[in-house]
Amino acid sequence: MNLDTSTLELFIRIASIGAIGKAGREFGLSPTAATQRIQTLEDSLGAKLFNRTTRSVALTSDGEAFLQHARRIVQNIDDARTDLSGGTKVIKGELRVAAPASFGRRHIAPYVTEFLQAHPQVHVRLDFSDTVVDIVEQGFDLALRIGELAPSSLIARKLADIPRVLAASPDYLKTAPRLETPQDLTHHQCLVLTGQRIWHMRDAAGETHEVKVGGNLSTNFGDVITEVALAGGGVSLRSLWDVSPLIKEGKLIALLDEYTILPEWNLWAVRPPGQIVPARVRAFIDFLEQKFRHLKAEPIKT
């Protein structure tokens, strides 16, 4: 099968505006020549891409599926040209990024405008969700992930450390039992992410402590834990990136800060395997890594 790049670009443009003749003129083609190009593409693929009427054309279900592939093929060719030209071409194209919801809103969204100002021909599509998406199947260029990575064929790049901390509000601590060792947590209301009732910590001597915590609240959404902790609901285990401003303001108090929460978390940028790294993806990863340098949390002393 020989897929001509200019024909793919014509197909993408027709899909965008819904008119073969108008798209053809943009490519210097007559309506008849443009129609023949699309017919040749359909014959090559063995699939009908458009439903045609006298007034307009619309993608078939096969056309919808092929459109995503066509865009990626054209973009990858453009990225390859950028690489071979020494990166002198303007970075452009759609960049699809997935990230955890809370982290994305707090630590990615504030910087997107700056990135787009530097690269105005890039279109960034952000997908913030606490569901771990299959970036290959769903067509993402990049995902930001926190914690330990499961074995996979994805290409990962570490961007930063993300230490975690135990914290509770002053109101909660006024009436709560003493908390001097990890085992003391068994006497506290601990706010947990669903399915994570065993907490692990390492002390300064390198000894690991395992504690099965209790409490009457669990949730699948990290920000809920922070809000309940602020309201005096118990002891939270959160990323220091998320709660350090609250601790500095005195709204939360760091607890057992001489212990390291295990496993130690990192922030990763993961991308699909076996592909040329598009210039827009490389630029965005480099940009985020630079931004996250200033978020390295300072030790908090209580």
167/145 Cα distance (integer angstroms):
23
| pLDDT at 92 (0 to 100) | 84
The CATH number of the structural domain formed by 164-262 is 3.40.190.290
Q: Which of 16-25, 161-170, 222-231, 236-245 shows the lowest mean pLDDT across its residues?
A: 16-25
| pTM passes above 0.75 | no
Are domains 5-84 and 164-262 of this chain identical in fold? no
- Nearest Cα to 97, choosing from 84, 74, 115, 81? 115
- Nearest Cα to 159, choosing from 142, 141, 145, 139? 145
DSSP bridge partners of 212: 198
pLDDT in tens, 238-265: 998 889 999 999 999 999 999 999 998 9
With 0-12 / 13-18 / 19 or more C-beta atoms within 10 angstroms meaning exposed / middle / buried, residue 232 is middle
The structural domains of the chain, with segments of one domain joined by +, span 5-84, 93-162+265-295, 164-262
DSSP 183: G
pLDDT in tens, 117-150: 999 999 999 999 878 888 887 888 899 999 888 8
Q: What are phi and psi of 133, to 5 degrees?
A: -90, 155
Contact between 232 and 173 under an 8 Å Cβ cutoff? The reply is no
pLDDT in tens, 33-50: 999 999 999 999 999 999
The CATH number of the structural domain formed by 5-84 is 1.10.10.10
- The domain 93-162+265-295 having CATH identifier 3.65.10.10: the answer here is no
| pLDDT at 168 (0 to 100) | 98
| pLDDT at 126 (0 to 100) | 95
Buried b (16+ CB within 10 A) or exposed e, 16-54: eeebbeebbeeeebeeeebbebbeebbeeeeeebbeeee
Mean predicted confidence (pLDDT) in 207-236 = 94
